[in-house]
Amino acid sequence: MSRRETPDLRARRAAAPARRVHSSTGRRPADKRAASADSKSTRSAPVPERRLRSVDARRSATRTRVGNQRRRVQVVAVAIVGFMMLIGVRVAGLQTSGGDHLREIGRDQWTRTVPLSADRGTIFDRNGEELAVSIPASTISINPKLITDPAATLSVLTSLLDLDVEEQQGLYDEMVRRERGFVYVRRQVDAALGAQIAELRLSGVNVEDESRRILPGGDTGRSVIGLTDIDGVGIAGLELQYDEMLTGSNGETTHEVAPGGRSVPGADGDTVNPVPGDDLILTLDRSIQFTCEEALIDQVTATGSKAGTCIVMDVDSGELFAMASVRRDESSDDVAITSGNYAAVDAYEPGSVAKVITIAAGIDTGAVSADTTFVVPWRRQHGEDLLRDSHEHPDEELTVRQILVESSNIGTIDVQLATGRPRHWDYMRAFGLGEQTALGFPGESGGILKHWTELQGSEQVTVSYGQGLASTPIQLVTAVNVIANDGLYVAPKVVRGVVGADGAITPTAPSATHEVVRPESAAIVQDMMVDVVCAGTATRAQVDSFNVAGKTGTGLKAQPNGGYEDESGQRSYYASFVGFFPAEDPQVTVLISIDEPPAGTINRFGGTAAAPVFARLVPTIANELGLEPPTTTSACSAEES
């Protein structure tokens, strides 16, 4: 398309011969390149110098401006492209190798991670009642460096938290010194109180959520449940044994925050949910546990004893309905439930309860029968020791049944010797003596049972009636339970099941069992043990409506000097009774032991110190477990008639 000329241009062309000369060449500057060529031919044309110079100067200036502009554009474009390339290279570098560190720094600046504590599992009794539970609580702390008015802040905290004078002084000193950035005021206070303090928005006062472990039933079951420290970590009992299972795993939430630290609504967040700990369902029955503890406290208090233990066990399954320990506090003289489970931790010489094992072994091996007779003196020399029965009597002919009913030490030795010491030892091991039970309780003792070849002097025979060996109460009740369970040993058990994170209950495996004596042998010993209660040393264990079988034990406690008497010639006793009921079809085995009943009183014996506690417990246990009395006549009445 040809270029159109304006009147102004035409006028300029008319006034400029050089332009015509230039036009005579027949070329027109169709573009800027042509215009440049025209400029060269114009300089060689014979035209008046002044006018040409004038026109050329103007056009040349125009062209120069155009050329410079293009260069500028090119330079700027190159600069921009170069700058963009630099940015691209930098971005590529940051995206590939050097960016992680910066991303991490940036993330730290705009995000905040808050730990989410997992709830510690609850501990239930066999009926689903809570024995140990974690509840929300608040922990109050201060940052002294941020506190502007120490006196006012302290006044508010004192009024709300009831701080004592010592605590007030300590906090005030910290606030004034302003050296530390974190000081606890009170941990695990009530959550509502924490919320109240948080609402006050006191400068330098922090309120944080924390859970607190409580036993809603008071001290009931504390010996078994154990303790956690203030951080919720198990330090004793089942809380320690199952700490990992109860703890669960903590989570955390990461969210973006504004420069002021406030959360940014709608911003991306990353949350790892905490997994709550599993919950334990114990075999304990809270009511039976409480009744045991109350009965023990009453008896230990009434007799002036040192401590007491009670275990209630299901005959068939080995589940423990109760496992209680009480002890007299030496400073206050009060008797209270212990935090330690002495039923599994302490081992004593069991005394005459162990005669059950000796008699059962003799009958099961066929060495003796219930009616086998021995001529029994009231004392006999064995090695260097003169061994004796509990009371003086003439040499008399006693059946094995009478030996057990009257709890004759010398007669029991005869049965052991008839059985043979190696076989007797094998039976003691089979009854569970000398090794830990399946409870695996923290600090549980395995007792002491030397191999028969290692027994020295009179110990070789005194083990037959429970001296020269040591057993824990849980070992002893499990051993006697073999007789109640028709000769079958069933390991004790305290955890019935576990509630998982999905709410499903996983029952624990049934207790391990093994046969110790034949059912017929067990039945004979059961019958003997009924006689012990009806006519022997345990008459105070008799209960209306139920026939009871059992055996008393009065063991001597070894003294620090190695003997059975202390420096003042005093003996210490360990009185116990282990029985089961209903005798016709045993359902529950119960052990009661009273530690160090007063030596000079009638209450030092198992039949007087421990058996009455058993009798007191039976109705409650029967009621709680729904046991109905048998319709048969009373075994003791029948015996009398």
Q: Which stretches of the chain bind other proteins, using CB under 8 A? A: 1, 4-7, 119, 122, 124, 127-130, 133-136, 191, 214, 216-220, 265-267, 273, 276, 279, 281, 286-287, 290-291, 294, 499, 501-503, 505, 543-545, 619, 622, 628-629
CB 267 within 8 A of CB 256: yes
CB atoms inside a 10 Å sphere around CB 456: 9
C-alpha 74, offset from chain centre:
76
**421-430 and 355-365 are packed helices; what angle lies between their axes, rounded to 10 degrees?**
110
CB nearer to other proteins: give 133 or 311: 133
Query: Whole-angstrom Cα distance, residue 639 to residue 641?
Result: 5
CB nearer to other proteins: give 221 or 487: 221
Q: Residue 105 is which amino acid?
A: I
The distance of closest approach from Cβ of residue 622 to other proteins in the complex, given in angstroms and rounded to an integer, is: 8
CB nearer to other proteins: give 188 or 416: 188
The distance of closest approach from Cβ of residue 545 to other proteins in the complex, given in angstroms and rounded to an integer, is: 5
CB nearer to other proteins: give 275 or 558: 275
The distance of closest approach from Cβ of residue 334 to other proteins in the complex, given in angstroms and rounded to an integer, is: 16
CB under 8 Å to 286, separation ≥6 — which residues? 125, 127, 129, 131, 217, 220, 221
C-alpha 190, offset from chain centre:
22
Quick one: CA torsion of 294, 300, 303, 304, rounded to 10 degrees?
-140
The distance of closest approach from Cβ of residue 134 to other proteins in the complex, given in angstroms and rounded to an integer, is: 7
The distance of closest approach from Cβ of residue 193 to other proteins in the complex, given in angstroms and rounded to an integer, is: 13
CB nearer to other proteins: give 442 or 586: 586
CB nearer to other proteins: give 74 or 127: 127
The distance of closest approach from Cβ of residue 547 to other proteins in the complex, given in angstroms and rounded to an integer, is: 13
CB nearer to other proteins: give 469 or 498: 498
CB nearer to other proteins: give 573 or 580: 580
Compute the Cα dihedral for 75, 79, 85, 88 and give only its sign: negative
Query: Whole-angstrom Cα distance, residue 550 to residue 553?
Result: 10
CB nearer to other proteins: give 219 or 426: 219
The distance of closest approach from Cβ of residue 482 to other proteins in the complex, given in angstroms and rounded to an integer, is: 28
Report the SS3 class of residue 281: strand
Q: Residue 116 is which amino acid?
A: L
The distance of closest approach from Cβ of residue 256 to other proteins in the complex, given in angstroms and rounded to an integer, is: 11
The distance of closest approach from Cβ of residue 519 to other proteins in the complex, given in angstroms and rounded to an integer, is: 28
DSSP letter at 352 equals G
- The residue assigned the tokens 């066999």 is 126
The distance of closest approach from Cβ of residue 323 to other proteins in the complex, given in angstroms and rounded to an integer, is: 16
The distance of closest approach from Cβ of residue 631 to other proteins in the complex, given in angstroms and rounded to an integer, is: 9
The distance of closest approach from Cβ of residue 286 to other proteins in the complex, given in angstroms and rounded to an integer, is: 6
Query: Whole-angstrom Cα distance, residue 455 to residue 411?
Result: 20
CB nearer to other proteins: give 516 or 543: 543
Q: What H or E segment, with its residue span, contains residue 42?
A: helix 32-44
CB nearer to other proteins: give 297 or 482: 297
Query: Whole-angstrom Cα distance, residue 297 to residue 334?
Result: 9
Per-residue tokens: 519:
């059912």
CB nearer to other proteins: give 1 or 105: 1
Report the SS3 class of residue 490: strand
**Vertex 474, ends 417 and 362: CA angle to 5°?**
20
Query: Whole-angstrom Cα distance, residue 413 to residue 421?
Result: 10
Strand 183-190 to 123-124 pairing: unpaired
Query: Whole-angstrom Cα distance, residue 352 to residue 347?
Result: 15
Strand 279-282 to 573-581 pairing: unpaired
Q: What residues form DSSP beta bridges with 396?
A: 376
Query: Whole-angstrom Cα distance, residue 405 to residue 552?
Result: 10
Q: Residue 373 is which amino acid?
A: T
The distance of closest approach from Cβ of residue 387 to other proteins in the complex, given in angstroms and rounded to an integer, is: 40
The distance of closest approach from Cβ of residue 504 to other proteins in the complex, given in angstroms and rounded to an integer, is: 8
CB 123 within 8 A of CB 228: no
The distance of closest approach from Cβ of residue 609 to other proteins in the complex, given in angstroms and rounded to an integer, is: 19
Could you give the maximum distance between any two Cα atoms of the chain, in Å? 170
Per-residue tokens: 325:
């320990």
CB nearer to other proteins: give 285 or 531: 285
- How distant, in Å, are the alpha carbons of 261, 379, 410, 549 from that of 390? 80, 9, 10, 21
Quick one: CA torsion of 265, 266, 271, 277, rounded to 10 degrees?
60
Query: Whole-angstrom Cα distance, residue 418 to residue 413?
Result: 8
Would you mind telling me the total number of residues written for the chain in this entry? 641
Query: Whole-angstrom Cα distance, residue 377 to residue 528?
Result: 21
CB nearer to other proteins: give 161 or 191: 191
The distance of closest approach from Cβ of residue 511 to other proteins in the complex, given in angstroms and rounded to an integer, is: 22
Compute the Cα dihedral for 410, 411, 416, 417 and give only its sign: positive
